Amino acid sequence: MTGHAIPSVLRAEKINKYFTDPVSFHVLKDVSLEIKKGEFVSIMGKSGCGKSTLLYVLSTMDTNYSGKLYLDNRLLTGQGGEALASIRNEYIGFIFQFHYLLPEFSVVRNVMLPGLKLGLKSAEEVYQDAMEKLRLLGIANQAEKLASRISGGQKQRVAIARSLINSPKLIMADEPTGNLDSKNADNVFHLLRDLSHQEGLSLLVVTHDQDFANQTDRIITMEDGRIMSTA
Amino acid sequence: MMNWSVILSISRTHLLSRMKQTIIAALGVTFGIGTFIILVSFMTGLNGLLDGLILDRTPHVHIFNEIKPSKRQPVHFFDPYDDSFNLIHSVKPKFRGEKINNALPLMELLKSDDRVKGITPAVKAQVFYSAGMLELNGLLNGVNVMEEERLFNLEDYIFEGIPKVLHQTSNGILIGKGVAKKLSLTVGDNVQVISSKGDLFQLKIVGFYQSGLAEIDNVQSYVNLKTAQQILGEGDSYITSLNVKLHDLEEAPRMARQIERGYDLTAIDINEANAQFETGTTIRNLITYAVSITLLIVAGFGIYNILNMLIYEKMNDIAILKATGFSGRDVKYIFIIQALLIGLSGGVLGLIFGYFVSLLIDHTPFVTEALPTITTFPVNWNPMYYIIGIAFALASTFLAGYLPASRAEQIDPVEIIRGQ
């Protein structure tokens, strides 16, 4: 690791994972990778190559693997559910393929929830932060609507705003544009890239979209549970 | 770290966004708790009334001189027959009168006992109520009327008059309602009584006494202790029974045995005299609690079902919450709090509902010969039942919410997100 001026945000060492149901299946094979501060990395590969599985392992939500996972050089492997939940809350933002907002809450409330959970700021401050993120994404005018009442593209932007609320070190996204038309997909891409460049945020995106991947800093290609290239 | 305000606000939003289900679940609790309050208030009110009917006016320990045969007959005092089997026929009771020997010193002694709340002396005098040619059998109860009022609620059974008046009128009588009716007497009239020795006394009626038991009301009257002693031609120390009231009813049997052992007297404790009332009370309480708990279990299953369904519907929400940093425990609390909020709101409504129905019962006319001073159904307003009620509501909803909430805690977000 010597010689790198830029510190690593996320590092995985020899991750192995098996599915046992319905049949035993070696889904991740000795996967090692590193993501640096401010880097915009995409993971590509065919369906079933294990890229989503890898993302969930890296996200700390899936703890059933062997190998070692570090965030900011801090070992995450073996930590309890409570600790991992608070690490996700504070350091990792998520954007899913499907919009995954809480439908009964208003847009701004959805954005606020992880901030309220973190509890470092007052509700009023979190509200101001949330409005600022919504403005950044151009949907501040939808703030008070119920999350179930806005369009797909808007939902995806709300999800991005939510992932930013606690100023995380790393944002992970699973096919963030998979569900959007090309114009919206382009918008989302540019938003993410700007965030990465301007705020030094690291991004890890799983995608099928070759055009999207080509514009990122680095593409990790996976095949049959192995990393083929990290160029 | 738990962030209660966020958890509470999520629970609230879940409940409010499905108002109809929430109301139905809460109503289940409302009816359970409401019924509990109504049942328990009414039942214990009734218990109190029935117990009061007998227990309040029954001394905890009743001391008197029973007429009975001697346990040790003369032959037992004769040593040579100690080992033989003695048969004695035609045993007669020993004559020693009804008077309690040294009653006044014994009273003072018992009064100084910590367990004793009070003690009243009484003299029973057999008389005839005289009305022209007619003579009615009667029993005069000579008592210290102020003490009777304090200890045995005599005023509850007095009509058209107060015990105090008797206390101030030396030749006064609180006459049995049945006697008064037969002799067409009203308050202020005079009545003549004839003692067993044939002496005639004139007494002034200061009130009516009605116990509710016709047999008693047709015979018994109350007079001052002194009046009864005069009618019998006896002095101040002539006392035929002592009625003891204790602070703690449970002490009665022990005390009665002590008195019997220490003095050559008969002492009957309240449990001996009224064993069946204790049983009735216990069974009524048992029924009350059994019915209430059954209702709450039914309400609990309703809540369990609704929360189970809610958690199926909310799988996505649970996955998102977990992905964005809420721990399994946070999610569990979100659902437990929903159950508790349903329990609290339903429970409070149930208390209010129960309170108003109890109020209605309390104002429903209820007239009975047995209880002259009672005009409406009895209700026990003990606030303890309201506390038990709300505790019941919270405990049962907590139990009903705990299982579904624990399932939500275990849900693996990855499975949900992948499954989309």
Would you list the DSSP string of B402-416? HHHHHHHHH--HHHH
- Its domain, for residue A216, covers 38-67+78-229
Task: Say whether both B114 and B251 belong to one domain.
Answer: yes
Question: Does residue B70 fall inside a structural domain?
Answer: yes
Q: What is the pLDDT of residue A2?
A: 46
- Its domain, for residue B348, covers 4-55+277-419
Question: Does residue A161 fall inside a structural domain?
Answer: yes
Amino acid letter, B398? F
Cβ–Cβ below 8 Å for A117 and B317: no
Task: Say whether both B163 and B241 belong to one domain.
Answer: yes
Question: Does residue A150 fall inside a structural domain?
Answer: yes
Q: Minimal Cα–Cα distance from A122 to chain B, Å? A: 11
pLDDT above 60 for B1? no
**What is the band of B388 on the pLDDT scale with cuts at 50, 70, 90?**
confident
Question: Does residue B33 fall inside a structural domain?
Answer: yes
Residue in chain A lying closest to B324 (CA): A89
Q: Minimal Cα–Cα distance from A152 to chain B, Å? A: 16
Amino acid letter, A219? I
Residue in chain B lying closest to A80 (CA): B327
- Average pLDDT of span A46-67: 86
Compute, in degrees rounded to 10, the torsion defined by CA atoms A157, A158, A164, A165.
160
Q: What is the pLDDT of residue B101?
A: 82
DSSP states of chain A as a string? -TT--SPEEEEEEEEEEEE-SSS-EEEEEEEEEEEETT-EEEEEE-TTSSHHHHHHHHTTS----EEEEEETTEE-TT--HHHHHHHHHHHEEEE-SS----TTSBHHHHHHHHHHHH-SS-HHHHHHHHHHHHHHTT-GGGTTSBGGGS-HHHHHHHHHHHHHTT--SEEEEESTTTTS-HHHHHHHHHHHHHHHHHH--EEEEE-S-HHHHHTSSEEEEEETTEEEE--
Task: Say whether both B239 and B298 belong to one domain.
Answer: no
Question: Does residue B89 fall inside a structural domain?
Answer: no
Cβ–Cβ under 8 Å, residues B310 and B18: yes
Cβ–Cβ below 8 Å for A82 and B316: no
A123-171 pLDDT, tens digit per residue, is: 899 999 999 989 888 888 988 999 888 888 888 889 989 998 988 889 9
- Average pLDDT of span B135-162: 83
- Which range is least confidently modeled, A215-224, B108-117, B275-284? B275-284
Tokens 């382009």 belong to A186
Question: Does residue A22 fall inside a structural domain?
Answer: no
3-class state of residue B158 by DSSP: strand
B199-230 pLDDT, tens digit per residue, is: 888 898 988 888 777 888 888 899 998 888 88
Say if B420 is an interface residue toward chain A (CB within 8 Å): yes
Average pLDDT value for chain A: 86
Q: What order do you get walking across the sheet with A74-75 strand by strand?
A: A25-36, A8-19, A66-71, A74-75
CATH classification at residue A90: 3.40.50.300
Say if B10 is an interface residue toward chain A (CB within 8 Å): yes
Question: Does residue A56 fall inside a structural domain?
Answer: yes
Question: Does residue B102 fall inside a structural domain?
Answer: yes
B394-412 pLDDT, tens digit per residue, is: 988 898 889 889 988 888 8
**Rounded to an integer, what distance in angstroms lies between the CA atom of residue B152 and that of residue B245?**
8
Question: Does residue A167 fall inside a structural domain?
Answer: yes
Residue in chain A lying closest to B411 (CA): A61
Task: Say whether both B122 and B260 belong to one domain.
Answer: yes
* Counted domains in chain A: 1
Task: Say whether both B18 and B154 belong to one domain.
Answer: no
**Rounded to an integer, what distance in angstroms lies between the CA atom of residue B64 and that of residue B99?**
8
Q: What is the pLDDT of residue B316?
A: 85
Question: Does residue B186 fall inside a structural domain?
Answer: yes
pLDDT above 80 for B57? no
Q: What is the pLDDT of residue B356?
A: 95
**Identity of the residue in B3, B322, B414 whose CB atom sits nearest the CB atom of A116:** B3
Q: How far is CA B205 from the centre of its chain?
A: 33
3-class state of residue B207 by DSSP: strand
Task: Say whether both B286 and B410 belong to one domain.
Answer: yes
Residue in chain B lying closest to A90 (CA): B325
* DSSP H or E run through B148: helix B145-152
Task: Say whether both B207 and B260 belong to one domain.
Answer: yes
Tokens 């350091």 belong to A91
pLDDT above 90 for B81? no
Phi, psi of A146 (to 5 degrees): -70, 145
Q: What is the pLDDT of residue A1?
A: 44
Which is more confident, B167 or A98?
Answer: B167
Task: Say whether both B348 and B202 belong to one domain.
Answer: no
Cβ–Cβ under 8 Å, residues B1 and B254: no
Q: Which of B247, B270, B293 is the last residue of a domain?
A: B270
B286-309 pLDDT, tens digit per residue, is: 887 888 788 778 777 877 887 788
Q: What is the pLDDT of residue A113?
A: 92
Task: Please state the length of chain A.
Answer: 231
Task: Say whether both B302 and B394 belong to one domain.
Answer: yes
Tokens 């945000």 belong to A9
Cβ–Cβ below 8 Å for A100 and B414: no
- Which range is least confidently modeled, A51-65, A102-116, B264-278, B387-401? B264-278
Q: What is the pLDDT of residue B277?
A: 67
Q: Which of B245, B270, B295 is the last residue of a domain?
A: B270
Amino acid letter, B180? A
Question: Does residue B241 fall inside a structural domain?
Answer: yes
Question: What are the beta bridge partners of residue A95?
Answer: A173
* DSSP H or E run through B301: helix B275-313
3-class state of residue B353 by DSSP: helix
Question: Does residue B211 fall inside a structural domain?
Answer: yes
Cβ–Cβ below 8 Å for A85 and B413: no
Strands B134-143 and B220-224: parallel
DSSP states of B13-60 as a string? HHHHTTHHHHHHHHHHHHHHHHHHHHHHHHHHHHHHHHHIIIIITS-S
Task: Say whether both B344 and B364 belong to one domain.
Answer: yes
Task: Say whether both B244 and B288 belong to one domain.
Answer: no
A205-225 pLDDT, tens digit per residue, is: 998 888 888 888 889 998 888
Task: Say whether both B205 and B130 belong to one domain.
Answer: yes
pLDDT above 80 for B419? no
pTM of the model: 0.71
Contacts of A108 (CB under 8 A, 6+ apart): A127, A130, A131, A134, A143, A144
Question: Does residue B87 fall inside a structural domain?
Answer: no
pLDDT above 80 for B274? no
SS3 letters for B263-300? CCCEEEEHHHHCHHHHHHHHHHHHHHHHHHHHHHHHHH
Question: What are the beta bridge partners of residue B151?
Answer: none
pLDDT above 60 for B352? yes
* Counted domains in chain B: 2
Q: Which of B228, B254, B270 is the last residue of a domain?
A: B270
